[in-house]
Every structure is written in structure tokens, then in C-alpha cells.
Structure 1
């Protein structure tokens, strides 16, 4: 686990190494986002050992449940599926981990009712509150002062954040870039040059084009080398991916020079989508792209490329 190479986006929530004391206490010391990152990448990190365990069915059932719970929008047709997954997950826990059953597991049985009454649960989760609360817990431990931490969080920190937010624009309405530099002619192969000429016309690559490493548009971060979802391939809602090769500027406007990837299949073993580059280059306008999910990282396993995320996407 310590030698695993996390991608650009996943490295922000890189979980700490699992130590022997964590296994003895049945508790991993990590934040919510770090635990979710570890849960999502679990089949990738431990791909050589996990499928020798009969209890892997517990992970797969829980993974399908989380993918549904974190989906926006959420189809009501998925509610019976979520209910059946809970029943199967509960039985698998009894079969494989009867001593690990806790009252908290019963909350999973309520998700279908909560979603039916109030909509997607991801719009109600308290991850940001947990992040704030974690900060005050650290202060309390260091100062040895444990007087009503949640009240201090609500009356001091949140009011301070509200005061700051009323004077600043939280959602960025302007484009931002980092590491702007010139483009070298020798970077493009013939197919890339044909794509650029077809879109921009006859231009000088070194004089007319500029590139950057990261580009922020409508609060979406586009990073060179990362993968994004641009739509669906068919009615079966297979995601269509593209990889950002370059972020180019031409005539005061930024464009995404991308490689339209082929979605091979969904790999049940790794709980990830297998993708393949066909050198199908295109130029996209980031202002006209529909946002489906944040940037994804590519992981190489068994001479294949995979991307994975926690959600089930839908056309409507």
C-alpha cells in the first residue's frame, strides 16, 4: 500500500498506511475522504490478493450500494435494487463477519426510504461538517479543553465563515490557468497536426498557440493527462471518456485538445471501467461541456487502463 502510486486527483485524499495496530483495533485512523478513497481503490491496490478471499462478496455488495447512494440524479427504479442489495449484504455479513455486526449497519436498510422521501442522500451528507469538527477536535486535544465542541463549531467557526463568504465569491465565474508556456512543434505527430489544422486552419504552432498545465472553468478543474466523462455511448448508459492531452490557447480562448477514448467494458474484478486509446483526437470547448463527474485518474493493470468512480450515471 505504501508503494502504490496514486493519481493526481486521488493523491489529495491519499489514505495513511494501514498499520498492525489498526487491524488489532478494527479501526483505521483517517478522514472520511481518505477512507472513501481507500474504499474506491481497494480492488486496485490489493488486486493480487483480494479475490482469493471468499469474503470479497461483502465488498462488492457494499460497493454497489455506495455507487447507488452517491448517484445524482437517482432513479426511483433503483430503489428495489438498493433494497435487495441491502438484504444480500446483511446476509453476507452474517455469513462472513458475524462478530463485526454493529447497530450502525441497520442504517443501510433506511436508505431506500430516505431517498424515496427526500431525494438523493448525497445532497444531505455532512462531510463538510465532519471536516470542520475534525479541526476542532485537534484543537481540543492540544488545549485539553473539551467544552461543547459542536456549539463552538456552530457559533464561532460557521459564523466566521459566513462573514467571509458574504465578501467573497465562492463560485469562480472567471477562467483560471496555471503554468502557461509556449508550444513546441516537435510535440505534435502528423495526426495531431491534422486535427489542429482542421479546427484552426493554417497556423504556426509555436507562435499562435500557448499551453497550460491546469485550467479552471465553471469550478471544474481540467488537468493535463486526466480523464473526464463527456456523455454516454449507448442506451445502456456506458460512459464515454476523454483524456486531456493538451490545454491550448488560441485567439484569447482556451481549448481542450483531447483523445476520445474507447470504453471497452466494465471490469467486475476491479470495479472499474476499462478504457483504450485509439488516437482519436479532437478539440473541445470547455464552456460547452456538460459536467458529469470530476476528473479521474488512470491506473494500469495487466496491460490495460482503468478508471473508477463512486456513482452510477444516468441519462435522465
Structure 2
């Protein structure tokens, strides 16, 4: 686990190393986001042994439940499937971990009725509360100030907001590039140059183009080498992935030079989509993209490329 290389997006939520004392107490010291990241990548991290685990069925059922629960929009016809999955998860927990089952494992059986009565569960989760709660806990511990703690926490948070609002120019703009520099013609191969000439008609590769490493456009972060869901196939809603090769600016307008990836299949063992590059380049306007999911990292397993995320995407 310590040798596993997290991607650029997942590294923000990389969990700390698991220690023996944590395993002995059946407890993982990590934030909610770090635990979710570890859960998502569990089959990829331990891809060589997951097939040997009799209890791996518990993970697979829970992964299917989360894929449905975190979906937005949520289809009502999924409620029956969700109810059956929750009952199956409860039974597998009793079968494989009868002494470690917690009340949360019982509460999960209520999701079917909660979603039916109150709408998609993703609209009710408390992830942002957990993030702020974690920040305030760190401040309270590090300052060692136990006099009027609420005032101290509020003051520190206000100072943080002032610093953020004073230094981030992106608050006054819908686009915020990071790491801008000139583009050299040697950065493009012949196929890329053909796409650029076809898109811009006339272009001077040495003077007209700039690039950046990261572009925050309408609060969506685009990174070089990041993989994004750009569309869904109408027939069976299979994701269409594109990898950002370069983020290019010409005439004050930002464009994404992407490689449209070939989606091979969904790997049940890894809970991930297998993808392959065919060098099908295209120019995309960020303003025309429909947001389906945040940027994804590519992980290599047995010389094959995979991307993984927790959600079931849908067109309706």
C-alpha cells in the first residue's frame, strides 16, 4: 500500500499509511474524503489478492450501493434494485463479519425509503460539514487555546477567508489559468498540428499559442493529462472519456486539446473502466462541456489502463 502511487487528483485525498495498531483495533485514522478515496481504489491497490478474499463480495455489493446512492439524477426505477442490494449487503455482513457489524450496517437498509420520500441522497450528505469540522478540529488542537474557543475558531476562519478573497483573482473571473507559458511547435506531432490547423484555419505555432498546466473554468478544474467524462452513449449510457493533452489559448480564448479514448469495458473485479488511447485528437471548448464528474486519474494494472469513480452517470 505504501508503494502505491496516487494520481494527481486522488493525491489530494491520499489517506495516511495503515499501521498495525490500527488494523488490530479495526480502525482507520483518516478523514471522510480519505476513506472514500481508499475505498474507491481498494481493488486497484490490492488487485493481486482481492480475488483470494472470500469477503470481497461485501465490498462489491457496497460499491454497487454507493454507485446508486451517489448518482444524480437518481432514477426511481433503481429503488427496487437498491433495496435488494441493501438487503444483500446486510446478509453478507452477517455472514462474513458477524462480530464487527455496526448500527450503520442496519441503517443502510433505510436508503430505499429515504430516497423515495426525500429525493437523491447525494443532496443530503454532510461531506462539506465533515471537511469544515476537520479544519476546526485541527485549529483547536494546534493552537492549544481553551479560552473562548468559539470566538477563536471564528476569528481564524474569518482571517482565512480574507486571505483567500484578497489573493484569488479567479473570484472576479469565470476562468483562472495556472502555469501559463508559450507553446513550442515541437510540442505537437503531425496529427495534433493537423487538428489545430483545421480548427483555427491559420496559425503560427511559434507566436499565436499559449498553454497552461491547470485551468479552472466555471469552477471545474481541468488539468493536463487528466481524464474527463465528456459524454454518455445514448444506447446504454456508457461514459465517453477524453484525456486532456494540452490546454491552449489563442486570441484570449482557452481550448482543450484532448485525446478521445476508446472505452473497452467495465472491469467488475477492479470496479473500473478500461480505456485505451487511439490518438483521436479533438479541440473542445470548455464552455460546451456538460459536467458529469470531476477529473480522473489513470491507473495501470497488468499493462492495462483504467479509470474509476463512484457514481452511476445518466442522461436523464
TM-score, structure 2 normalization: 0.92
Structure 2 residues not aligned, in runs of 5+: none
Provide, for residues 193-241 of structure 1, a one-character-per-residue CA deviation record: whole Å limited to 9, x for no partner: 1111111113111111111111111000100000000111242110001
Asked if 2 retains the 8 angstrom alpha-carbon contact of 1:172 and 1:218, the reply is no
> Is 2:298 the partner of 1:298?
yes
Please name the residue that 1:196 is paired with.
196
SS of match in other structure, 1:243: strand
How far residue 134 of structure 1 moved from its aligned partner, in angstroms, is 2.5
Asked if 2 retains the 8 angstrom alpha-carbon contact of 1:298 and 1:305, the reply is yes
Provide, for residues 63-102 of structure 1, a one-character-per-residue CA deviation record: whole Å limited to 9, x for no partner: 1111111111111111111100011111111111111112
> Is 2:44 the partner of 1:44?
yes
Q: 1:118 to 1:160 in 2, by over 3 A?
A: farther
Please name the residue that 1:130 is paired with.
130
- Cα distance between partner residues in 2 of 1:132 and 1:288: 33
- Cα distance between partner residues in 2 of 1:29 and 1:144: 24
- Cα distance between partner residues in 2 of 1:246 and 1:300: 21
How far residue 160 of structure 1 moved from its aligned partner, in angstroms, is 5.0
Q: Give the paired residue count.
A: 312
What's the Cα RMSD here? 2.6
> Is 2:30 the partner of 1:27?
no
Structure 1 stretches of 4+ with a deviation exceeding 3 A read: 135-147, 155-161, 167-173
- Cα distance between partner residues in 2 of 1:81 and 1:172: 45
Q: 1:217 to 1:20 in 2, by over 3 A?
A: same
- Cα distance between partner residues in 1 of 2:239 and 2:20: 39
TM-score, structure 1 normalization: 0.92
Please name the residue that 2:185 is paired with.
185
How far residue 157 of structure 1 moved from its aligned partner, in angstroms, is 7.3
How far residue 271 of structure 1 moved from its aligned partner, in angstroms, is 0.2
Structure 1 residues not aligned, in runs of 5+: none
How far residue 179 of structure 1 moved from its aligned partner, in angstroms, is 1.1
Asked if 2 retains the 8 angstrom alpha-carbon contact of 1:171 and 1:219, the reply is no
Q: 1:136 to 1:293 in 2, by over 3 A?
A: same
> Is 2:227 the partner of 1:227?
yes
How far residue 144 of structure 1 moved from its aligned partner, in angstroms, is 7.9
